[in-house]
Structure 1
Amino acid sequence: MDPTQQQLWDADAARSYDTPGTGMFAPEVLGPAVERLALLADGGAALEFAVGTGRVGIALAGRGVPVTGVELSGAMAARLREKADASQLPVVLGDMATTRVPGTFSLVYLVFNTLSNLQTQDEQVECFRNAARHLGPGGRFVIELWVPELRTLPPGRSATVFRAEPGHVGFDVYDVLEQRVVSHHFDFDERQTRATGKSASVRLGLSPHRYVWPAELDLMGRLGGFELESRHADWSGAPFTAESRSHVSVYRLPAR
């Protein structure tokens, strides 16, 4: 694991990560994910890689699914612990590609593009293998991941805007040779600018990723002993097409 990932997810990031009721915490975003994961757990226990502050894990545990988390950042885990104690959601500090958690699970899941935080192909393959080590026969590994937007890059350009809304602008800078991307997030108070006529202060957040094509992801799954069971464009089961910007892919181990 790239040590910069631990630096990125520090105490400041943990404090600003939760946005109750909005963004990725909005009911229309979180609800379908929890509903689908509860069905895929099929009455068994679940393990969340990169559990963060518990956005999904706490809600899934509230549905009656026993959930354990693996988390690299001590600051993120501490934020989770403010909301749920160890009896509700145990957390093991460590790397999702190598950390072993006691027990056997029916479901391992990795949401919100987090697989791309692993900076090499070898680490991403090891993440699949680590998931397989935690699963019983027929167990599932679920990955939510974005589709690289390389088709939006004009010739000779290396950056594409993925979000432009009041108070936030985001763009990705691609290195297509190394299959890397750095996401740039600019946050500012537009109301302050309108009220004062002065430029608002801007906060920049950077996050490096290694992007993965769906077909490459399927090969990683096979190397880990999985077969692709299903792929949809979102948690609600919309069809995955050439225009889909993300996907939810379900991989399954053989039943025997």
Structure 2
Amino acid sequence: MTSSDDQTPETPRMPSSDLWTADTARDYDVESAEMFAPDVLGPAVDRLARLAGDGPALEFAIGTGRVAIPLADRGVAVSGIELSPSMAAALRSKDPAERIPVTVGDMATTRVPGEYSLVYVVWNSIGNLRTQDEQVECFRNAARHLAPGGRFVVELWVPDIRRFPPGQTAVPFVVGDQHTGFDTFDMVTQQGTSHHYRRAADGRISYGFSNFRYIWPAECDLMARLAGLRLEQRHADWTGTPFTSDSGSHVSVWKK
């Protein structure tokens, strides 16, 4: 037998998520301006504030604080976990009062102190975890942070693979003068890549991409059950539109 002193230390697990850079963080709010529009952001903040109630909330993949800052403005005590130090720094620059503590780490495994009435991850960010094992651990990590009766909320798109004719591997999600984007998919592994082409004011074209693993709603429910959570609500959007087979997204709430 080998003594514990002779064993090679285990290599720290690296998350599969893309690590967003300082350039990405600098441009994020401008390039995502449509997600800051009141008719988009307002219903999300309204719903999350109601679900948090009088308790604290924890955001996974908090980014630059698009949701967390207005939620804190409502009086909710918000904390966050963010993989990218650059994105976390961008949030801190917008929160000079330091109301929102942010821990740099992986949302699948990183623990922060306290119990929360609400844990949430928005705008498809759970897909940044590119393995099923990590996504399962994300649900378990949410459950670990929740107080009894607390809720885990996920905003996630439904892959629109019905639009694919035989042999096609890409589908556009936006086509405009300044921004054209399309997704490519591997139907076997559920891996995908979002490709973004943006036109600057001087006519130059830039290209960027991000990788993800898509998850079906039923797969999310199974991950939740493995974490000891049960589905409480599912709607097509933050305003409570009924979820149907034609819905392109879902806002799902699981309760501990």
TM-score, normalised to structure 2, is 0.92
Out of 4, 26, 29, which is 2:40 matched to?
29
CA offsets 1:10-35 (integer angstroms, 9 cap, x no match) = 10000111139941011111110000
Q: Is the 8 A contact 2:16 2:129 kept in 1?
A: no
- Give yes or no for the alignment of 1:100 onto 2:111: yes
Deviates more, 1:83-92 or 1:58-67: 83-92
Letter in 2 for 1:32: P
Write the distance in 2 (CA, Å) between the matches of 1:242 and 1:4: 29
Residue deviations 1:102-125, cap 9 Å, x none?
001000000000000001000000
For residue 102 of structure 1, give the secondary structure of its aligned residue in structure 2.
coil
Match of 2:127 among 103, 107, 116: 116
Q: Distance in 1 between matches of 2:131 and 2:218?
A: 16
Q: Which contiguous aligned blocks of 4+ residues in structure 1 show a shift greater than 2 angstroms?
A: 1-4, 19-22
- 1:115 to 1:20, Cα distance in 2 relative to 1, 3 A: closer
1:3 is displaced (CA, Å) by 5.3
State the Cα deviation string for residues 135-193 of structure 1 (Å, max 9, x = none).
Answer: 1111100000000011001101111111111211111111001111111011014x75x
Q: Give the C-alpha shift of residue 205 in structure 1.
A: 1.0
Mapping 1:57-206, distance limit 5 Å = 57-85=68-96, 87-189=98-200, 192=202, 200-206=203-209
Which residue of structure 2 aligns with residue 233 of structure 1? 236
Matched, 1:209 2:220: no
Aligned to 1:41: 52
Summarize the Cα distance change of 1:3–1:132 in structure 2 as closer, same or farther, 3 Å threshold. closer
What letter matches 1:160 in structure 2? V
Whether contact under 8 Å (1:67, 1:90) holds in the other structure is: yes
Contact 2:130 2:212 in 1 (8 A): yes
Unaligned runs of 5+ in 1: 193-199
Tell me by how many angstroms 1:42 deviates.
1.6
Q: 2-side partners of 1:84 and 1:224: how far apart?
A: 33
CA RMSD of aligned residues (A): 1.5
Task: Compute the displacement of 1:202 (Å).
Answer: 1.1
What secondary structure does 2:171 align onto?
A: strand
Selected match of 1:14 from 13, 22, 25? 25
CA distance in 1: counterparts of 2:93 and 2:76, whole angstroms: 20
In 1, distance between residues paired with 2:119 and 2:175? 33
Conservation of the 8 A alpha-carbon contact between 1:19 and 1:25:
no
**CA distance in structure 2 between the partners assigned to 1:236 and 1:173 by the alignment:** 29
User: Which of 223, 227, 239 in structure 2 is aligned with 1:224?
Assistant: 227
Helix, strand or coil: the match of 1:82?
helix
CA separation of 1:246 and 1:71: change in aligned 2, threshold 3 A: same
Secondary structure of 1:44's partner?
A: coil
SS, match of residue 113 in structure 2: coil
Secondary structure, in 3 states, of the residue corresponding to 1:216? Answer: helix
CA contact (8 A) 1:48 1:57 kept: yes
Distance 2:23 2:179 in 1: 18
Question: How far does residue 85 in structure 1 lie from its aligned partner after superposition?
Answer: 3.6
Q: In 2 relative to 1, CA 91–18 (structure 1 residues): closer, same or farther, beyond 3 Å?
A: same
The number of residues matched between the two structures is: 243
Change in Cα spacing, 1:21 to 1:100, as seen in structure 2 (3 Å) is closer
CA apart distance, 1:87? 3.5
Residue 210 of structure 2 aligns to a residue whose secondary structure is strand
Structure 1 residues 126 and 67, CA gap change in structure 2 (3 angstroms): same
